[in-house]
A = this chain, B = another copy of it.
Amino acid sequence: MFILVNLKAYPCDPVAVARAARDVADAHGVRIAVAPQAADLARVEATGVETWAQHVSPVEHGSHTGSTLAEAVEANGAEGTLINHSERRVTLAAVDDALAAARRTDLETIVCANDPEQAGAAAALSPDAVAVEPPALIGGDVSVATADPEIVEGAVAAVNAVDPDVELFCGAGVSTGDDVEAARDLGATGVLLASGVAKAADPRSALEDLVSGI
């Protein structure tokens, strides 16, 4: 199981969360990555934690003021990137172009989708993984794997039908080891989470609980 902690624009200390993630990953031999704001990539990467971008723009080098260039996030330590998160949706063509940008720079990719149908569509573009996250559950207390197990199962099936090499992750409401275990039992090989760790009083404890489900 892969655990990706998305720091969004939360008022947390990205370095403190990154250190906690690194320590828990090392202590338990679990793969945990942290996705901070683009401006924070370098100092998060300096902790030694696996570092991801929250977004890359569907562009190559050029006149793109205010873009998030794949080359720039890679040069500052990112090893992968989310694409099309529900808080940063892009067009179908831009998903394709952002994937091309990520391949150009050897970034791993997770394309986010709302439901099994969109997960199947995303899989057709050959990312490394698709993450299904029902928007209604994002930021809530109930995990998608608990509240809507058929969404995870449906997404696993939809992705496998299109391209069995694409992994299926799930997100929305994931905060405990039980949530991680439920996701794994439904066929997911990774989870996305955010507030459960980033807003925790003790991110290390929150992560320890999460990995207990693996």
Q: Which residues on A are within 8 Å of B, measured CB to CB?
A: 6, 8-11, 36-43, 53-55, 57, 59-69, 71-73, 75-76, 78, 82, 84-96, 113-115, 117-118, 120-126, 138-139, 158, 162, 194-195
30 contacts between A and B (CB under 8 A): A8-B63, A9-B60, A9-B69, A9-B72, A10-B61, A10-B63, A11-B61, A37-B67, A37-B68, A37-B72, A38-B72, A39-B41, A39-B53, A39-B72, A42-B76, A63-B138, A63-B195, A65-B82, A65-B85, A65-B87, A66-B85, A68-B68, A84-B92, A95-B121, A96-B121, A117-B125, A117-B126, A118-B124, A124-B162, A162-B162
The quantity of this chain's copies bound in the complex is: 4
Give chain B nearest CB distance to A199 CB in angstroms.
10
Report how far A77 CA is from B86 CA in the complex, Å: 29
Among B61, B68, B113, B114, contact of A66 (Cβ-Cβ < 8 Å): B68
Give chain B nearest CB distance to A83 CB in angstroms.
9
Q: Taking A10-B61, A121-B125, A162-B124 as contacts, is the C-beta distance between A66 and B92 under 8 angstroms?
A: no
Give chain B nearest CB distance to A79 CB in angstroms.
13
